[in-house]
Amino acid sequence: MTISNITKTKKLGNSTIEVSALGIGTWAWGDSFFWDYGKTYGKNEIEEAFKATVEGGVTFFDTAEVYGSGKSEQLLGEFCQGMEQKIDIATKYAPFPWRLFGGSVADALTQSLKNLQMDYIPLYQVHWPFMLMSQDTLMNALADEVEKGRIGAIGVSNYSAEEMKKASDILAKRNIPLAVNQVKYSLLTRKIESKGILKTAQDLGITLLAYSPLAQGLLTGKYSLDNPQKPEGARKIDSRFSASGLGKIAPVLELLQQLGEKYQKTPAQVSLNWLMAQENVIPIPGAKNAKQAKENTGALGWNLASNEVAQLEEITRPWLNS
């Protein structure tokens, strides 16, 4: 595993786009299906999370057209209005089965730009690899949008090593790099290493955006054998939050706690710092309120020592296939 010095910004692959070394995912902004938007939190809490995130030095936000059926984009666009600070937005194209032709990309992008109240998006990603449109048609349609100046860089999400290389090869014919692959990655979700995705991305110069970097809350220390409680929403049926599941991660939480005490940081901040120590990884945790946003941004401005990064890597090897 290659370790790099943590910087305040990172480039998105071999593109010209540079963003903060930590981002924020906005799946929960406006989504009431998986999350409890409109019940346990709402627009006011999210706007406070946005402001606290920017104040903490994070200016990179990841959204998608399907989050809240466009509501996440709309909220983010509204919050960005009048901001003096430059905000970098990434959103995603949903490759629904009925989107068969390249024109679907232009239409979807037009709607996302309208939702965001912008005429340019720094990063536009394909949300998942399963579709009826060919990769060749899709990647060339995205390349057209780069040349039109409506997007700055192209990304994919949840692509395998082979799928990522194929997309990269198609774009290379247009002299445009594949900048990003957004994948699930955390100390407790390291399958991208065993599946060759991390290595392939490093070889191709592709940045990985790590979603669910706190394993949906398991790495925050909020859930443990000493503090048994049921999570909200769909996580209630996740076996990882059961007594046996929490027992398995107890040694990991203990090490995170020890390192956190050394640096006066929380287990979540240590977990995010570990991801930022990787050569080409930008974690994008979520934040539903200002408190969560401030905890996220507390992962910036300090470095785990290389031997501590190695300790965390070793203790979480049982999760290399998770």
Task: Please give the average per-residue pLDDT across 45-54, as a whole number.
Answer: 97
Examine the residue annotation and report whether 120 is marked as an active-site residue of this protein: no
Comparing 245 with 94, which gets the higher pLDDT?
A: 94
The stretch 259-285 carries a mean pLDDT of 97
pLDDT band of residue 162 (cuts 50, 70, 90) is very high
pLDDT level of residue 246 (50, 70, 90 thresholds): confident
- DSSP-assigned letter for residue 12: -
Among 37, 41, 67, 124, the one annotated catalytic = 67
pLDDT at 216: 86
pLDDT tens digits for range 108-137: 999 999 999 999 999 999 999 988 999 999
CA distances from 194 to 1, 159, 174 (A): 12, 14, 31
Is the pLDDT confidence value at 67 over 50? yes
Residue 283 bridge partners (DSSP): 210
CA distance 250 to 220: 12
Q: Rounded mean pLDDT of 202-218?
A: 96
d(C-alpha 57, C-alpha 90), whole Å: 17
- pLDDT, residue 244, reads 67
Output the average pLDDT for the chain: 92
What is the DSSP secondary-structure string of 69-112? Answer: GGHHHHHHHHHHTT-SS--EEEEEE---TT--STHHHHHHHHHH
**pLDDT computed for residue 1 by the predictor:** 39
Provide the pLDDT for residue 126: 98
Please give the DSSP secondary-structure letter assigned to residue 152: E
Q: Tens digit of pLDDT for each residue in 299-316?
A: 999 999 999 999 999 999
CA distance 207 to 195: 16
**For residues 21 and 9, is the Cβ–Cβ distance under 8 A?**
yes
Q: Report the run of H or E that residue 218 belongs to, with start and end.
A: none
Q: What is the CATH number of domain 9-218+275-302?
A: 3.20.20.100
11 burial via Cβ count (<10 Å: 0-12, 13-18, 19+): middle
